[in-house]
Amino acid sequence: MRMILSAVVLLATSACVTSPREPTGDSVILARAVTAIEQRSGGRLGVAVTDARGALLFGHRADERFAMCSTFKLLLAGQVLAKAAHGVSLRTPLRFVRADLVAYSPGTDKLLGPNGRGEQQLGFAAKDAVVLSDNSAANLILAHIGGPAAFTAEIHRRGDQVTRLDRNEPTLNENAPGDVRDTTSPAAMVKSAAGYIYGDWLTAGHRDTLRGWLIESETGLGRIRGGLPQGWLAGDKTGTCGTAYNDVAFAEEPGGAKYMIAVYLDRPAVKGDDANAVIADVARAVVQDLP
């Protein structure tokens, strides 16, 4: 009998060692909640949550491709700040003419002179791309660094082999069914974002700068941030393509725990504030499950 009991104990101990642990409080309940939210939305929902190190804690369609829309601007600003650490001046002039302006450029529009010419500075363009989601500012940065191909090459160099940018604003927002251009996955995006927000891809000062821009942005107050409890610190970058509603955020508990959250909502049956509320509902469900 003693030998049998010993074998049972040994088997149980072995099972504890080799069985995968649930990464969060109750992932099964969270998965069911997110699936229910997706069904109510009438669209396709992608979710990824990581800790500050970029380790995936939860995913729902986390490896499927979604149109980035303007969420790429978070990574673009990160690339600008990374270049600044290697000697590129944030005061580098980015000159443009009236024909360079595209729709939704609330910051760059103001810099156009009566002669039809204007000038933006690299650092301010990065800020406007994040805080205002300024499309012309993003295009000016892309032209400066070598275009969408250069953006993609840099993010691939960082280890993200999924995220790709193929076009400029506003054509990158097309979101045609089955088109892999200008797409990412929630898992790829949130891990890359964590590299800039919490990792060593930026200096401490530049991390603080990027975080500050994300906090200052108000385009996503009704999305992920709308589902976080009072007292949390968060900042985000949204993306909206007409047929897609996206958000990528860092979120920090008052106790100090830090997370990255990405939510991509493709072709929902609801629009506008109702689509924003879907993303807020996802954040609310995630918060209840965080370790």
Range of the domain at 252: 22-287
The set of residues, in sequence order, having a beta carbon less than 8 Å from that of 209 and lying 6+ positions away, is 81
The structure tokens listed for 4 are: 């049998």
Asked, for residue 223, whether it belongs to a domain, the answer is yes
- pLDDT value, residue 179: 98
Domain count, the chain: 1
Walk along the chain (291 residues) and give the pLDDT tens digit of each residue.
333 333 333 333 333 333 333 444 458 899 999 999 999 999 999 999 999 999 999 999 999 999 999 999 999 999 999 999 999 999 999 999 999 999 999 999 999 999 999 999 999 999 999 999 999 999 999 999 999 999 999 999 999 999 999 999 999 999 999 999 999 999 999 999 999 999 999 999 999 999 999 999 999 999 999 999 999 999 999 999 989 999 999 999 999 999 999 999 999 999 999 999 999 999 999 999 887
Asked, for residue 9, whether it belongs to a domain, the answer is no
| Annotation marks residue 14 as catalytic | no
CATH of the domain at 249: 3.40.710.10
Asked, for residue 7, whether it belongs to a domain, the answer is no
Asked, for residue 11, whether it belongs to a domain, the answer is no
- Between strands 183-184 and 117-121, the pairing is unpaired
Q: Is the dihedral of CA 55, 250, 223, 182 positive or negative?
A: negative
Alpha-carbon span 47 to 138, nearest angstrom: 25
Asked, for residue 224, whether it belongs to a domain, the answer is yes
- pLDDT value, residue 290: 84
- pLDDT value, residue 26: 57
Give Cα 25 distance to the centre of its chain: 23
Asked, for residue 203, whether it belongs to a domain, the answer is yes
Please tell me which residue in 70, 105, 192, 217 is annotated as part of the active site.
70
Q: Is 276 exposed, middle or buried (0-12, 13-18, 19+ CB in 10 A)?
A: buried
- pLDDT value, residue 27: 82
Asked, for residue 46, whether it belongs to a domain, the answer is yes
- Report whether 118 contacts 112 (CB < 8 A): yes
Q: Is the pTM of this model over 0.75?
A: yes
Asked, for residue 70, whether it belongs to a domain, the answer is yes
- pLDDT value, residue 22: 40
Beta strands in the chain (DSSP E): 44-51, 56-60, 66-67, 93-97, 117-121, 183-184, 233-240, 244-252, 258-266
